[in-house]
A and B are shown apart, each in its own frame.
Chain A
Amino acid sequence: MPWAPALDLRLALTLDGLGALYSLLAAGVGLAVLAYSAAYLPRHLAHQARPARAGLPFYGLLVLFMASMIGLATAQDLILLFVFWDLTAIASYFLIAYDRREADARWAALMALIVTGVSAVLLLIGALMLYSEYGTFALPELFERVEPGTTLTVAAALMAVAALVKSAQAPLHFWLPRAMAAPTPVSAYLHSAAMVAAGVLLIGRVYPFVASSGLLLDGLVVVGAVSIVVGGVLALTRDDLKQLLAYSTISQYGYVVLMYGLGGAAGAVAASFYVIAHALAKSALFLTAGAVTEATGARELSRLGGLARRLPLLAVASGIAVASIVALPLTAGFFGDELLFKAALEHGWAAALGAVAAAALTFAYLARFWVGIFLGPLRSAAETRLPALMVVPIAALAAVLVVGGVWPAPFAELAGAAAESSLLAPATASVAYHLDLRDENLMALAAWSVGAALVAAPALWRAPAAALAALGERLGPERVYGRSLWALNRLSDRIHDIEVRDLRTRVAAVLLPGGVLVALGFAVTPTEGAYEVGTVTVDDLVLVLLLAFVGAAAVATTRPRNQFVLVLTLAVVGFGLAAVYAVAGAADVALVAVLVETVLALLFLGVFALLPREALRREQTLAERPSRRWRDPLIATVAGIGAFVLVWGALSRPAPEASVAEDHIRLADDAHAKDVVTAIIADFRGLDTLGEVTVVAVALLGVVALLRRGRLT
């Protein structure tokens, strides 16, 4: 459906495999999160002493996010994709900063917005590059037309970077742990299943572009591997529940990126399956963390323990979710890892070893998470009873995982369909339980045993992991982000100081470069015969006298005794020019000039009456300081000479735009107008008029806001 035909934009939405997968995820997990929020939000607001009404925007924003996620999943046009991409970023900004009074939340929301927003521009640049090369934004057409080459590689690289930042991959992953300042349902939805999933969705959607270059695929593998390691090791060191889960998300999406990078049908299918299993399980875990914090009031792992007896249903449901991510049998995640191992094996034993190590790391930190909360001695008692609506969604997600573990066919089909949209070729996922000594089963067993060993012997990894975490805080990308923001602020302040110290400096900052540029322009272009001095006849005498009068008045404005006289002299200049227009035959322009001059002079005088006398006197003496005595006239002279030369040159040349004026005169009759000027304002150049009146209305807003009662005193 065409949207803006002049710009080649279309509203193109298709529910293909990839779209169906992510839409189902967004809608299904969204439903669970909404149900959970119905119970969680009132308690959360009560903790913060906010009225219950404040919950309404929350649901609205969640639904807006869900809608933009579904739009993003089904979009088939690159610009539409970009619009939905930014819509999700905006919704996420407001959701993360939902606890407006917390400085952490505001900082985290801004960080997420800046990091993902700036990278979104890369997506736009990539889309524009492809458009300029192939002439369309629509993805199906692009897939047919593209050929491997530098343009495609660079555009695909830009889009891949945007996707990786959105999915919180190293090195630009630091916004995700900070975003844990959001309320738990937001983390469960956005930061495990939806918003970070948008990144890998983009990779899946533009996979044909990415797959055209082996370099890009290798890059994906590297980034994925680094994210797995960074996320996993840091998850081992975190004490705060949600931070741990955030780093786990980084690590898990590293898996997905790695699988896309491994390439081929096996990789794409494995990645899609993994996304489903992870989204369901991770949101269940986030909701669990929120429920546990609600029940006990403790957010840290060190303060929790032994809750299995008090919260049995929660323990079982979250246990199933943990089992799924860790890839134990009878859960959907088991097949995810099976597909991962199969894909890794195709690429040699180094990849396989890496996959086993990654799986072991995952086992270690998630086992630490679950055991730390539910087993062991009771550290904080579960004081409040959890409402059913908080536990049921978690149990429902866990049930889906179990169903997926026992009967994986629907999941496999969905993953296969998604991979087909990515690869533009048929792909199937065949997953089943094989009770034999296949390589994948051996690898899984190896991963679990190594992971169990890591859990049992924490002393092995505690010191190196903590060292890595400290290194990241000192030299990591978050530091770079903070320092760049600080440096930008400093730069802006400096420029403001130089340029905007007072009104004269501001005007000078525009006039001087303007005059210099005009002079440069004339120095560069040939000026043979460009300046004509025309003849002056007796008929023009009135005009010349009037112009001389205007010139004298303009010169007189440079030597006023006080500001009041200055305003009146400027008004005289304006009226003089109006007389010039009238004599030259432009009746409409003369009328408008007179009226505008009157109004402006009145308003100018009115504003001057508001200024305190001492300030005016002080400005006057400032202007007469010796240091200023040569600077202002110099700038004025340079700008004046530049304007003079420019206008003389323009008027000496026969105007090529005479033809446009003739068109206007010719068409005025068709426009039902006898007065051409009015027709130009309202009809031919109506859009200009619209813009100008908008500016006037905005100026009104500004004046009213600035002069509001109490602001001047």
Chain B
Amino acid sequence: MSDSSVTVLTQMTARLLLAPILVISVAVLVNGYASVGDGFSAGVIASLGLLLQYVSFGRERSDRLLRLRLVPAAAFAGLLGALAVALVPLLRGEPILTHWPPPGSDAIYVGSLELITAVAFDVTVYVLVVGCVVGFARAIARAGEGVAR
């Protein structure tokens, strides 16, 4: 994935597409409870945007410009978050993964987004998927550099 095989046109397009892709991914995430979309797809869309940067610019430049070194750690942050959402009800004496607010009562709405723990679960899945896919790509890219050398 060296610069010589990627044209300037691709790089410009990739640079322009990054922000919209991230916005769309967040939109898909937020839209999950109202219509099509969920944390997993949103996460994959966001990570595809980041992978596009890797392909177009090469690993080192993307890492430097976008500070992507810590993104794989987000995978484990997401996992911890998901486990927290699942296990906190245990501390309150309820079965695992009991969501709040309980069925039947009203939820707090911010626009069309509901503030419920299920949405928080989706967000943790989103973070985890982004971290994992970017982590895979980084591992492969770094290994590739080692092989090429």
Whether the pair B137, A674 counts as a contact (CB closer than 8 A) is no
Whether the pair B33, A679 counts as a contact (CB closer than 8 A) is yes
Contact surface of A with B, Cβ cutoff 8 Å: 6, 587-588, 591-592, 595-596, 598-599, 602-603, 606-607, 609-610, 612, 667, 670-675, 677-679, 681-683, 686-687, 689-690, 693-694, 696-697, 699-700, 703-704, 707-713
Quick one: CB contact mask for B128-149 with A, threshold 8 Å, 1 for yes?
1101110111011111101101
CB neighbors of A among B64-101 (8 A): 72, 75-76, 78-79, 82-83, 86, 95-97, 99, 101
Whether the pair A596, B44 counts as a contact (CB closer than 8 A) is yes
Question: Is B119 engaged at the interface, CB distance under 8 Å to the other chain?
Answer: yes
A residues within 8 A CB of B26? none
CB neighbors of A among B48-72 (8 A): 48, 51, 55, 72
- Say which residue of B48, B72, B139 sits within 8 Å of A595 (CB atoms): B48
A residues within 8 A CB of B141? 606
- Say which residue of A595, A610, A674, A689 sits within 8 Å of B121 (CB atoms): A689
B residues within 8 A CB of A712? 143, 146-147
Whether the pair A672, B107 counts as a contact (CB closer than 8 A) is yes
B residues within 8 A CB of A690? 82-83, 86, 97
19 A-B contacts (beta carbon < 8 Å) = A588-B37, A595-B44, A596-B44, A599-B133, A602-B48, A603-B133, A603-B136, A609-B144, A672-B116, A674-B33, A675-B33, A675-B34, A677-B36, A679-B33, A682-B121, A697-B75, A699-B132, A700-B136, A708-B139
Q: How far is A670 from B101 in the complex, measured between Cα atoms in Å?
A: 10
Q: How far is A440 from B76 in the complex, measured between Cα atoms in Å?
A: 69
Q: How far is A603 from B36 in the complex, measured between Cα atoms in Å?
A: 26
Question: Is B22 engaged at the interface, CB distance under 8 Å to the other chain?
Answer: no
Question: Is B18 engaged at the interface, CB distance under 8 Å to the other chain?
Answer: no
Question: Is B14 engaged at the interface, CB distance under 8 Å to the other chain?
Answer: no
B residues within 8 A CB of A603? 133, 136-137, 140
A670 touching B104 in the complex, CB below 8 Å, given contacts A606-B141, A690-B86, A712-B143? yes
Query: Across chains A and B, which 5 residue pairs bring their CB atoms closest together, nearest first?
Result: A670-B103, A595-B44, A707-B143, A682-B118, A606-B140
Q: How far is A681 from B43 in the complex, measured between Cα atoms in Å?
A: 14
Whether the pair A697, B34 counts as a contact (CB closer than 8 A) is no
Whether the pair B79, A686 counts as a contact (CB closer than 8 A) is no
Q: In the complex, how many residues of chain B place their beta carbon closer than 8 angstroms to a beta carbon of chain A?
A: 57
Q: How far is A344 from B137 in the complex, measured between Cα atoms in Å?
A: 75
Which A-chain residue is minimally distant from B72 (CB atoms)?
A700
Whether the pair B82, A588 counts as a contact (CB closer than 8 A) is no
Whether the pair A610, B147 counts as a contact (CB closer than 8 A) is yes
Question: From residue A210, how far is it (CB to closest CB) to chain B in Å?
Answer: 37
B residues within 8 A CB of A696? 75, 128-129, 132
Question: Is B4 engaged at the interface, CB distance under 8 Å to the other chain?
Answer: no
Whether the pair A679, B48 counts as a contact (CB closer than 8 A) is no
A residues within 8 A CB of B135? 700, 703-704
Whether the pair B118, A700 counts as a contact (CB closer than 8 A) is no
A residues within 8 A CB of B95? 6
Question: From residue A545, how far is it (CB to closest CB) to chain B in Å?
Answer: 24
Which A-chain residue is minimally distant from B90 (CB atoms)?
A4
Judged by DSSP, the binding face of A is: helix
Which B-chain residue is minimally distant from A709 (CB atoms)?
B146
A residues within 8 A CB of B47? 599
Which B-chain residue is minimally distant from A602 (CB atoms)?
B51
Which B-chain residue is minimally distant from A696 (CB atoms)?
B132
Whether the pair B97, A686 counts as a contact (CB closer than 8 A) is yes
A673 touching B132 in the complex, CB below 8 Å, given contacts A599-B44, A693-B79? no
B residues within 8 A CB of A704? 72, 135, 139
Question: From residue A246, how far is it (CB to closest CB) to chain B in Å?
Answer: 44
A671 touching B103 in the complex, CB below 8 Å, given contacts A609-B144, A700-B132? yes
Question: From residue A159, how far is it (CB to closest CB) to chain B in Å?
Answer: 31
- Say which residue of A587, A596, A672 sits within 8 Å of B33 (CB atoms): A672
Which B-chain residue is minimally distant from A687 (CB atoms)?
B97
A residues within 8 A CB of B51? 599, 602
A residues within 8 A CB of B101? 672
Whether the pair B36, A673 counts as a contact (CB closer than 8 A) is no
Whether the pair A681, B40 counts as a contact (CB closer than 8 A) is yes
A697 touching B132 in the complex, CB below 8 Å, given contacts A670-B104, A678-B122? yes
- Say which residue of B34, B104, B140 sits within 8 Å of A610 (CB atoms): B140
A residues within 8 A CB of B129? 693, 696
Q: How far is A682 from B75 in the complex, measured between Cα atoms in Å?
A: 18
Q: How far is A704 from B141 in the complex, measured between Cα atoms in Å?
A: 11
B residues within 8 A CB of A681? 38-40, 122
B residues within 8 A CB of A694? 79
Whether the pair A707, B142 counts as a contact (CB closer than 8 A) is yes
Question: Is B41 engaged at the interface, CB distance under 8 Å to the other chain?
Answer: yes
Whether the pair A687, B121 counts as a contact (CB closer than 8 A) is no
B residues within 8 A CB of A606? 137, 140-141, 144
A residues within 8 A CB of B39? 681-682
Q: How far is A595 from B25 in the complex, measured between Cα atoms in Å?
A: 12
Which A-chain residue is minimally distant from B122 (CB atoms)?
A682
Which B-chain residue is minimally distant from A669 (CB atoms)?
B103
Q: How far is A687 from B118 in the complex, measured between Cα atoms in Å?
A: 12
- Say which residue of A607, A673, A686 sits within 8 Å of B140 (CB atoms): A607
B residues within 8 A CB of A708? 139, 143
B residues within 8 A CB of A607? 140
Which B-chain residue is minimally distant from A591 (CB atoms)?
B41
A residues within 8 A CB of B118? 671-673, 679, 682-683, 686
Q: How far is A588 from B104 in the complex, measured between Cα atoms in Å?
A: 26
Whether the pair B103, A693 counts as a contact (CB closer than 8 A) is no
Whether the pair B139, A707 counts as a contact (CB closer than 8 A) is yes
A residues within 8 A CB of B37? 588, 591, 675, 678
Q: How far is A607 from B136 in the complex, measured between Cα atoms in Å?
A: 10
B residues within 8 A CB of A682? 32, 38-39, 118-119, 121-122, 125
A residues within 8 A CB of B82? 689-690, 693
